[in-house]
A = this chain, B = another copy of it.
Amino acid sequence: MSDNSFGKLFRVTTWGESHGPAIGCVIDGCPPRLPLSEGDIQPWLDRRRPGQSRFTTQRQEADQVRILSGVFEGRTTGTPISLMIENTDQRSRDYGEIARAYRPGHADLTYDLKYGIRDYRGGGRASARETAMRVAAGAVAREVLKILVGPELKIRGALTEIGGLGINRARWDWDETGRNPFWCPDAATVPAWADFLEGIRKEGSSTGAVVEVLAEGVPAGLGAPVYGKLDAELAGAFMGINAVKGVEIGDGFAVASLRGEDNADPLRRGKEGQLAFRSNHAGGILGGISSGQPIVARLAIKPTSSILTPVPSLTCTGEEIDIRTKGRHDPCVGIRAVPVAEAMMACVLADQLLRHHAQCGWNLPAL
């Protein structure tokens, strides 16, 4: 069914449940001879790792990744790269309620409706824990892009809104995103978010957020007509991240109220004669193909469904019940979505790069 794979040529298949013995992924199609070690992957996992501030789940996982295949003497061999992380914090606990009732907003109900069975421990396959493997695959994709395109290709993400509190874009500072627990690019907004989230956390509530991902230095020509469009694949990749309910490219929903004159990105020659756009309403993609401008995407993340306020629901046998979701949860799951969104961007770009090369990367003889 390939329902657990993404990418066509840089193909990632993930497996594993939240409370099984391990989670992992297999990456097929990676070019050979690229330097790769666990040390290239671990730092990206560490950025996503839970339990690093009081604003994310207190689950403690070492998240130590192992490379089990596809790398020999420090280089990729072109064969499948198998990555695995053992689950260490499978806290022995009483799954009583989650086992016998449906937490509203979670996939408990729909997994049961679909499969007639579910691994209820920690959400099983539907747990955000699975996204660790996307981050690991994204780290490999970053290596591919670094070697095959160059270090000028940069993928970075930030949180631009929490619970209706937006940043001031004029103060955007990428360095700042690494200095606070929110990936916030605007230092002046950090205290307000901290106050707000502290309140949310204490109330046992949760809040939504907006993530923005930017890819700079992307070569022109990635993507393809109709169903291989770069923006279409990004939209699918982002909407497939847990809790995402909306995706925008470039101006996004703001285009609905724009006129053609305001949405146009005029084109001129730059100082060295290169293409130079005067604006980037398109978010770096025209007709589904990258133009060389920065690719800009935004993701809307819903508030974590696990809250302390009781919500009406049903048990698996159909009795009415009110559920309060206790446990180790994120007041704003959007925070941990930032490294995941970056990783998906990296995977999609690596895949599109190989696909573009396959079809168009030929030095044709003069014909």
Contacts and interface: CB of A to CB of B under 8 A. Distances in A.
A223 interface: yes
A291 interface: yes
Contact of A259 (B3, B148, B206, B314): B206
Contacts of A130: 225-226
A269 B318 contact: yes
Interface string A302-326: 1111110101111000101000000
Contacts of A170: none
A220 B113 contact: yes
Interface in A9-50: 9, 11, 13-17, 20-24, 26, 28-35
Contact of A251 (B16, B240, B302): B302
Given A110-B290, A283-B245, A267 B312 contact: yes
Interface string A78-101: 111110000000000000000000
Contacts of A13: 5, 13, 26, 28, 80
Contacts of A327: none
A6 interface: yes
From DSSP, what is the main secondary structure of chain A's interface residues? Answer: mixed
A62 interface: no
A107 B2 contact: no
Count this chain's copies in the assembly.
Answer: 4
Interface in A87-130: 102, 104-107, 109-111, 113-119, 124-126, 130
A302 B263 contact: yes
Given A31-B360, A227-B4, A360-B31, A301 B79 contact: no
A116 B32 contact: yes
Contacts of A11: 1-2, 5
A209 interface: yes
B116 A224 contact: no
Contacts of A217: none
A260 interface: yes
28 contacts: A2-B11, A3-B29, A4-B224, A4-B225, A5-B227, A9-B358, A13-B26, A16-B82, A20-B69, A31-B360, A69-B125, A77-B124, A78-B359, A78-B360, A79-B119, A110-B220, A110-B290, A113-B292, A126-B288, A130-B225, A235-B236, A255-B302, A256-B300, A264-B305, A268-B320, A273-B318, A278-B312, A357-B362
Given A255-B302, A258-B302, 19 more contacts: A2-B227, A14-B80, A22-B69, A24-B69, A24-B82, A33-B367, A105-B260, A107-B288, A114-B221, A125-B225, A161-B257, A239-B249, A251-B302, A260-B309, A261-B307, A267-B312, A267-B314, A268-B314, A361-B361
